[in-house]
Structure 1
Amino acid sequence: MNNPTTSEAPLPSPMAPHAWASLDLAARRADSAAADFRHSSVAERCRLLELISFHLEAARGAIAASARDELGDGAASVAMEHDAALQQLRAFNAVLRRSHWLGAAIETAPPDQRVQNIALGPVAVLGTGHACAAPVYAAAAADVIAALAAGCPVVVRGSAAHPRTSALLGEAIAAAVRATGLPGGVYSLVADDTGSASALVTHPDIKAATYAGGRDEGLELMRRSLDRADPIPVLLDIASSNPVFILPHALNARAEHLGQQLLKQFNPGTAHSMFKPGIVVAIEGDGYIDLRETIIDGVLAMPPVALASAGARQGHADTVERLLREHRVEVLAEGAAEAGGGRRGARAVFVEAEASSLLTTPALADEHPGPSGLLLRCACPEELLAVAALLGRQLVAGLQMADGDTALAARLMPQLERMARHVNVNSFTSMPIYNGATAAQAIARFLRPVFYLDVPSSLLPAALQDANPLQLWRQVDGEMRH
């Protein structure tokens, strides 16, 4: 068993020695930087986020060109990700500026009891794994920015699908770190080598990890983290089917429009693949046939959808094969195959099943990666509610409603809150948008409280020594109320 206080970890068996040496160095550098970065001021971290924005913007053209060469991504999709990254940085910066309580001292009565939020330590950001397509800006993802805002050094696993683009993003962030005078180990980018995710999760210098991707890989990483001498939190965003519930009045009023908007999400340039709606739940009645026909026409006209990684392509192929094996499933339409037998593009597929099929075939509710989808036909509102009760945890749940759907929506909403982290109403834009509330919560995931009882003032951290306990608590309480 390794000593959790040292970084002398053995070479993990699946890794090549040179890959392990690079990863181990990054983790050790992050550990060396952790204490200084944890004690950095809010102003210093705000400055870091501002400089990251500056360097990312300066590299915009180079990143777009690299993404085009490596992934074939068009200018519009890369520009969308770039602007989303800048918006995230602005949101996290704003939270830090007005909410010093996230990383500084908070005090509660009585005066001899104090508590301070401190950074967890080095965080491994593992990206999306091989079963999901990694976004172009994965190396500057929200988890990366949130951890830096909290004062945690990060070791980011790059993407094998676009290593040069990842390197450009990594260099932009590293340049911002250097410009602030912070230790170099605050940000490191390591290659997506075989076994790298597992090696980071088990490295003794890593104190937390994040992963967004396939269920099996995510759960395996969590199991490995629990086998450590000092188990660490692994924050998982497991890929899911992201169901959309279309209620009767909305279906009757805008079936064709809803079908068209739904299929736009099959284009990886419009949303991260993990947040794409994979299941559509609707009640058979007025508008249902129009929705069904719109989906059929749209899928038949859909060209092959480019999926960057072999893992993402295989995940899509496995899902289609699984769906087509189910005797309760009817194929509505299949899109065009890639000309010349090419393997980069995935063929769009949409199938239909009765909602009652979930009772006997719960696997229908599994993740639908790539351009694949399932239309669930419900006989009545009670069956739609039963479907919602059967579905497990989801990243996103959507609700399409009109004025006459209010009563049914009120019954459905508690189920959506139970299952999903993000609930969208009358929108197919599923990617999370970071504002003050969501950014604050994202940062808080990388902090832990330390409680001080009867500790002499001379031994307290400077932030607690300088704070006026009652005044600080009143200020924080007032900020949170507003």
Structure 2
Amino acid sequence: MNTPATSAAPQPLPLPPHARASLDLAARRADAAAAAFRHCSVADRCRLLELISFHIDAAREAVAASARAELNADAPVVAMEHEGVLQQLRAFAAVLRRSHWLGAAIETAPPEQRVQNIALGPVAVLGAGHACAAPVYAAAAADVIAALAAGCPVVVRSSATHPRTCELLAGAIAAAVQAAGLPEGVYGLVADHAGSAAALVTHPDIKAATYAGLRAEGMELMRRSLDRSEPVPVLLDIASSNPVFILPHALNARAEHLGQQLLKQFSPCTAHGMFKPGIVVAIEGDGYIDLRETIIDGVLAMPPVALPCAGAQHGHAQSVARLLRERNVDLLAESGAAAAGGPASEARAVFVEAEASSLLTTPTLAERHPGPSALLLRCACPEELLAVAALLGRQLVAGMQMADGDTALAARLMPQLERMARHVNVNSFTSMPIYNGATAAQAIARFLRPVFYLDVPSSLLPAALQDGNPLQLWRQVDGEMRH
């Protein structure tokens, strides 16, 4: 069951002339920088990532102060994102140095054919849609770093919720680009206007785009790309319900702990937003009762959660209202109302409950539950839990909690999690993707395309494919890895 969009994407308003001119300049600069950046050495790109890390780290305090002023972001949230960005930069640099991402391969049998991955070209990083919370470090997000590592100039759409913070990060990255001796068009930041995402996707100098947000908005951007004379890939991360399946032995052994950890994912929404668990699936029994009681007590004790923007607050309110209109959904617990005079963006935490069989009659229950809200699905038996997994559509994250006695059921559930999700977690509530060598290599690959060379003289080939292996890379030659 794919989760349908609840409404069509609104048509973007025309860009103001000054915004269109700024966007056009950034795209043209990116295009002008593309050839030189694609051909710069791996060492030069690693140097750029190291300089970005240095300049972002130098801006740590200014970014934290700006995020506090614009988003009311807690210091631990900002610190977590800061360290995450530095870790990403290290991981991508390590992958670059190994050069496996080039995919250099040679077949010597006539006609001789060689292949290597090259950068797609200028990438528009559109970030989070207005109904989703953008991370503090949106201007230096993983897609930005991955595209730069691949050799793609980037044009990043700022976030309307924290433009000053984005400008600080963009300034740090621009300083790194300048210090690396690279063209200024390698990185550009444009303001977030209602029509800026559509304008970037349709700009002739943009060769790919990334977007994280609601399905309707993402599909509209894909349609606009297909309407171009030269369609380009739009890489989507669609917001989802991110289910967590709690298997029986784990539930009986640590129900109270699991309930507490689930509620921790409600806050801070700025950091977790798109990756927060929105559906919890468990089998009825003593452990289920303990989990349920822990959730009720925890939600009732929770203060209102400050959401980072009006769009996120509106999406949360709409989702909760839709759930509570369903006759087969019961309100489990709702936190106290915001204090008089408190921020308008504060939202009450809400947990609702339904029988797993309700998914058959009410498929909208499987939709995303944004903000501090979630659905607890009660299953009668393991077979019903597996049936729920089979019904759920594509997810960003899916997880399971298991103990030693759950191995057999976990083995049956795992193929369903692999089918539905990009990220699969076991015994972890880690919401944000963690970038290491393997995941960084996959992220870089999104911004590359293969080029096949047939009987091309060695002198005209990229250095990675030339006779004599001047770069001393590991290459696949006639099906075998050789150095």
| TM-score for both structures, normalised by structure 2 | 0.94
- Aligned partner letter, 1:54: F
Correspondence list, 1:438-453, <5 A: 438-453=439-454
Equivalent residue, structure 1, for 2:107: 108
Cα distance change on mapping 1:106 and 1:478 into 2, 3 Å: closer
Q: Distance in 2 between matches of 1:461 and 1:390?
A: 47
Contact residue 212 and residue 239 of structure 1 kept, 8 A: yes
Secondary structure in structure 1 of the residue aligned to 2:340: helix
In the TM superposition, residue 461 of structure 1 has moved relative to its aligned partner by 2.9
Equivalent residue, structure 2, for 1:436: 437
Q: Distance in 2 between matches of 1:104 and 1:462?
A: 13
Q: Deviations over 1:102-156 (max 9, x none)?
A: 2474333437211121100000000011010000001100000000000000000
Secondary structure in structure 1 of the residue aligned to 2:475: helix
Q: Distance in 2 between matches of 1:336 and 1:406?
A: 40
- Aligned partner letter, 1:110: A
Residue 473 (structure 1) aligned with residue 467 (structure 2): no
- Aligned partner letter, 2:416: Q
Instruction: Tell me the C-alpha RMSD between the 2 structures.
Output: 1.9
Contact residue 123 and residue 147 of structure 1 kept, 8 A: yes
Equivalent residue, structure 2, for 1:7: none
- Aligned partner letter, 2:475: W
Q: Distance in 2 between matches of 1:402 and 1:137?
A: 36
Q: Unpaired runs of 5+ in structure 1?
A: 1-11
Cα distance change on mapping 1:66 and 1:13 into 2, 3 Å: closer
Correspondence list, 1:74-473, <5 A: 74-98=74-98, 100-103=99-102, 105-110=104-109, 112-268=112-268, 271-340=271-340, 342-465=343-466, 467-468=468-469, 472-473=474-475
Contact residue 52 and residue 173 of structure 2 kept, 8 A: yes
In the TM superposition, residue 192 of structure 1 has moved relative to its aligned partner by 0.5
Cα distance change on mapping 1:42 and 1:476 into 2, 3 Å: farther
Equivalent residue, structure 1, for 2:4: none
Cα distance change on mapping 1:105 and 1:412 into 2, 3 Å: closer
Q: Deviations over 1:24-58 (max 9, x none)?
A: 10000000000000101100000000000000100
Contact residue 13 and residue 194 of structure 2 kept, 8 A: no
Query: Which deviates the most, 241-250 or 261-270?
Result: 261-270
Q: Distance in 1 between matches of 2:14 and 2:196?
A: 9
Q: Distance in 2 between matches of 1:471 and 1:191?
A: 41
Q: Distance in 2 between matches of 1:476 and 1:364?
A: 52
Secondary structure in structure 2 of the residue aligned to 1:339: coil
Equivalent residue, structure 1, for 2:27: 27
Q: Unpaired runs of 5+ in structure 2?
A: 1-11
Secondary structure in structure 2 of the residue aligned to 1:287: helix
Cα distance change on mapping 1:321 and 1:269 into 2, 3 Å: closer
Identity %: 80
Q: Distance in 2 between matches of 1:74 and 1:477?
A: 52
Equivalent residue, structure 1, for 2:42: 42
Q: Distance in 2 between matches of 1:176 and 1:128?
A: 25
Contact residue 146 and residue 439 of structure 1 kept, 8 A: yes
Equivalent residue, structure 2, for 1:6: none
| TM-score for both structures, normalised by structure 1 | 0.94
- Aligned partner letter, 1:361: T
Contact residue 393 and residue 420 of structure 1 kept, 8 A: yes
Secondary structure in structure 2 of the residue aligned to 1:299: helix
Equivalent residue, structure 2, for 1:8: none
Cα distance change on mapping 1:133 and 1:477 into 2, 3 Å: farther
